[in-house]
Chain A
């Protein structure tokens, strides 16, 4: 089965860039889109080995044969 990765809407990133520039006190990191926010939230809370496996599965690494 072909693994297909669908990118999100690029305009969302452009709006986020503008929002951060205009924020009174911007966060040091500002993850954009659901998957980035989830990964950012889980970092430090979930063991890194488990997080790598989750991200690898999301990216389709478990289906890659080199």
Chain B
């Protein structure tokens, strides 16, 4: 059975992707920052009848220890096998640029950019060992053109452009092994 790790599955695209992949026969490791928010995911999985195909765990991409623990637990459960990862987790900070506190901008970049890099760095050894693996980043198409005053767009879009650019540079080094 193919296995996939998805981040940010408590709601939105992550939740729907988890259900869709489980429905297609994947074994899904659905992760989220706060396990108290797993209710909607469980309800969706029960409704789709795929509850048994999904393991839910805690993973905060901004905490390296959390990344290591979740990844180790997942590899233990699968016997060291992981076929794919979906970098879905992301946060946004709203407001005009000059109104945004610095900590909000840093929080967005920590999650949307450095979180992707840290998790990718953690899983690459497993992909190299099995000489296969697929890394998928969900990014905004309009990551360089966002509305300045809308509540969810401003910093989220630019921070999502980072992983997209990083993926471009990762391909030559990773594809040689994977």
Contacts and interface: CB of A to CB of B under 8 A. Distances in A.
A17 B141 contact: no
A28 B21 CA distance: 20
A52 B148 CA distance: 14
Contact of A17 (B96, B136, B145, B146): B136
A66 B96 CA distance: 9
Interface residues on A, range: 20 to 34
B138 A39 contact: no
What band does the interface of chain B fall in when counting residues whose beta carbon is under 8 Å from A? Answer: 20 to 34
Contacts of B21: 17-18, 21
Contacts of B88: 17
Interface of B is mostly: mixed
B176 to A, nearest CB: 16
A41 B96 CA distance: 30
Interface in B126-144: 134, 136, 138, 141-142
Contacts of A31: 141
Given A13-B13, A18-B24, 4 more contacts: A18-B20, A21-B86, A55-B145, A59-B147
16 contacts: A5-B150, A10-B12, A10-B13, A14-B16, A17-B21, A18-B21, A21-B21, A21-B26, A21-B134, A28-B167, A28-B168, A31-B141, A35-B141, A36-B141, A39-B141, A66-B149
Interface of A: 5, 10-11, 13-15, 17-18, 20-22, 26, 28-29, 31, 35-36, 39-40, 52, 55-56, 59-61, 64, 66
Interface of B: 4, 12-13, 16-17, 19-21, 24, 26, 84, 86, 88, 96, 134, 136, 138, 141-142, 145-150, 164, 167-168, 171
